[in-house]
Amino acid sequence: MERMIGVIGGSGVYEIAGLEDARWQAVESPWGTPSDEILVGTLDGVKMAFLPRHGRGHYLSPTTVPYRANIDAMKRLGVTEIVSVSACGSFREDMAPGDFVVVDQFIDRTFAREKSFFGTGCVAHASVAHPVCGRLSAACLQACRDEGITVHVGGTYLAMEGPQFSTLAESKLYRENWGCDVIGMTNMPEAKLAREAEICYASIAMVTDYDCWHPDHDAVDVGDIVKTLTGNADKARAMIARLPALTGPYEPCEKGCDRALDYAILTAPEKRDPALLAKLDAVAGRVLNG
């Protein structure tokens, strides 16, 4: 197996620079059309694949991002690890706009999205107790530090449906009662689907604002967010450029992300739906055909 680092770019991150032999490649998926073509190339001898989550021109909302098609397309390309970079609001005074957070937990409050590749005809229950890959997250942390980025180790990301920002009552609930650190609209179900696809996943949340709980920041303003977003996007691209050198050649995941489906599928072989199995060829081919 060869390492291929996938990067999913969030708001403000619609391309990455410096790839050798770079080309935008269309990838077909039985789960729909991915957000965009995928920019493939090589960086320091490591294969890379970049996908802008909202599409170039930011035409997809957090609800309409085709999360399953995106993860499936990455799997079909041979991506072994996904680094997600996302804009987020902060619930903590010390996580200031411009800071990065290496997310390690999520609370999923999204409700209008398809969240699994599995279902009737092939039921599977993957564990997401530890929803990010510790090894990949450590590499991202190192890359941030090497770039001189102010980075926080660990944080709980509240994934909301959006597209509106939170009410003050919601913001206080997530911060004061639920102990969340940051808030965004896209990392769920992306992280869950990456786990089902047995792809290591790390999330770097880039703080753009203090949401609306902060006494000095009355309401979230997209104009202010965009100002911070541009600087964050530059830092994200610099961080990503350091990853190939830090990760080195492929090795099986010591945390087991690449074996997440080993005991997950419950449906008896004779009860499995051939049409669903065909769609699962990339995501679950290792366990279904192995």
Ligand X SMILES: Nc1ncnc2[nH]cnc12
Active site residue 209: yes
217 assigned to a ligand binding site: no
Taking the least distance from each CB to ligand LNRAV4D5, the nearer of 87 and 140 is 87
Q: Select the binding partner of residue 104 from ligand X, ligand LNRAV4D5, none (C-beta < 5 to 8 A, by kind).
A: none
Binding flags for ligand LNRAV4D5, 81-110, as an x/- string (CB under 6 A): -----xx-----------------------
35 assigned to a ligand binding site: no
The interface region with ligand X, picked from 19-27, 36-44, 181-189, 196-204 by CB under 6 A, is 181-189
Catalytic hit among 99, 104, 108, 211: 211
Active site residue 211: yes
Phi then psi for 61, rounded to 5 degrees? Answer: -80, 165
Which H, E and C letters describe 226-266, residue by residue? HHHHHHHHHHHHHHHHHHHHHHCCCCCCCCCHHHCCCCCEC
Strand partners, 102: 153, 204
Q: Does 206 bind ligand X (CB under 6 A)?
A: no
Catalytic hit among 209, 218, 224, 273: 209
Name which of residues 137 to 166 contact ligand LNRAV4D5 (CB under 6 A): 162
Q: Minimum CB separation from ligand X for residue 110, in Å?
A: 12
58 assigned to a ligand binding site: no
Binds ligand X (CB under 6 A): choice among 31, 100, 165, 213: 165
Catalytic residues: 209, 211
Binding residues for ligand LNRAV4D5, rule: CB under 6 A, are: 10-11, 53-54, 62, 86-87, 162, 184-186, 222, 225
